[in-house]
Amino acid sequence: MKKTYKILILLIFILGLTIAINKFSADDFIKNTFYKIFTPFQKSTWQAGGWFSDKLIAPLTVGKIQTENQNLVKENLSLKEQIIILKSQAEENAILKAALGISAERKENMVLADALNKDFLGNYLLVNKGSKDKITKGLAVITPDGALVGKVEKVYNDFSQIILITSASSSFSAEIENEKTGVLAVIKGNGDGKVFFELVPQEQVLSKGDLVKTIALGNIFPKDILVGEVLNFEKEPSSSFQKGDILPYFLRNNFKQLLIIVDEK
């Protein structure tokens, strides 16, 4: 129980320190050093998903559980560790294989990066590639299966901050593929994990499930990156345009690694 409280206190300390560093420190070197020290802890808790509730909350509410045989526990842990290693290697090989396929198809060079953690509002994501890996501001970021995640917003020596397309600060032009032709639209994030489109003329016919992909307009993203699909749309009588929600495909999977599009081959 004491160990549980110590872990809880450590997490609260890291949380407070993260907020302080991001809010009050403008020095990139300080931020980069902070990320190098504390990112392993943040990554572990973020990717574990339910770890906090399973390991911290449950012991406080359920109480003591029956003590297990120590030798059996050690054997189980050893076996689980081997399984985790093999699973991790298989996942990485699958991601690399997918990356090679996407890279060859898109004719672009890509850098594989680990997704470390999100900011507390879910607008940004930190990855473990930075200026030393030739990462620069504005580069597009996609999932291993080719779905748009966002773009590089801030670059440090060892890390980069990615602004997600779900962020309220995200806005770009895209094309909605309906039955007849492509329809231009403006895609925006609303800041709570959702994406919507607007400025589509009323006369354009849309359907639920229409695919949304990027276009080269504005040079924000390379063209033909899959964004998601139309969830719903509405036509307001008082407006010349229609708008609606989009299901962003990058949210379909709990991704651990991402691809940063560096340049065209």
Express each pLDDT in 84-124 by its tens digit: 555 555 565 565 555 555 655 655 788 999 999 887 677 99
CA distances from 74 to 44, 70, 81, 136, 239 (A): 21, 6, 10, 45, 66
Q: Using 50, 70 and 90 to split pLDDT, how confident is the model at 155?
A: very high
Of 59-73, 204-218, 234-248, the range with the lowest mean pLDDT is 59-73
Could you tell me what percent of the chain has a pLDDT over 70?
A: 60
Summarize pLDDT for 22-66 with one digit per residue, the tens.
655 556 776 676 677 666 665 655 555 444 444 444 444 444 444
Cα 143 from Cα 233, distance rounded (Å): 26
- Report the pLDDT value the prediction gives residue 254, as an integer from 0 to 100: 79
Per the model's pLDDT, the better-predicted residue between 20 and 246 turns out to be 246
Q: Using 50, 70 and 90 to split pLDDT, how confident is the model at 238?
A: confident
Residue 2 has pLDDT above 50, yes or no: yes
- Report the pLDDT value the prediction gives residue 54, as an integer from 0 to 100: 43
CA distances from 81 to 7, 21, 167 (A): 21, 34, 36
Residue 13 has pLDDT above 80, yes or no: no
Q: Using 50, 70 and 90 to split pLDDT, how confident is the model at 130?
A: very high
DSSP 131: G
Q: How many residues does the chain have?
A: 265
**Does an H or E element contain 102, and which?**
helix 70-106
Per the model's pLDDT, the better-predicted residue between 125 and 91 turns out to be 125
Summarize pLDDT for 136-145 with one digit per residue, the tens.
999 999 998 8
Q: Indicate the CATH number of 69-265 among 2.40.10.350, 1.10.10.10, 3.40.50.1010, 1.10.10.2520.
A: 2.40.10.350
Cα 104 from Cα 264, distance rounded (Å): 11
* Domain spans in the chain, listed from the N-terminal domain onward: 2-62, 69-265
Average pLDDT over residues 200-218: 92
Note whether 141 and 260 are within 8 A (CB): yes
Q: Take residue 213 and report the two structure tokens written for it.
A: 């992909």
- Report the pLDDT value the prediction gives residue 235, as an integer from 0 to 100: 86
pTM of the model: 0.70
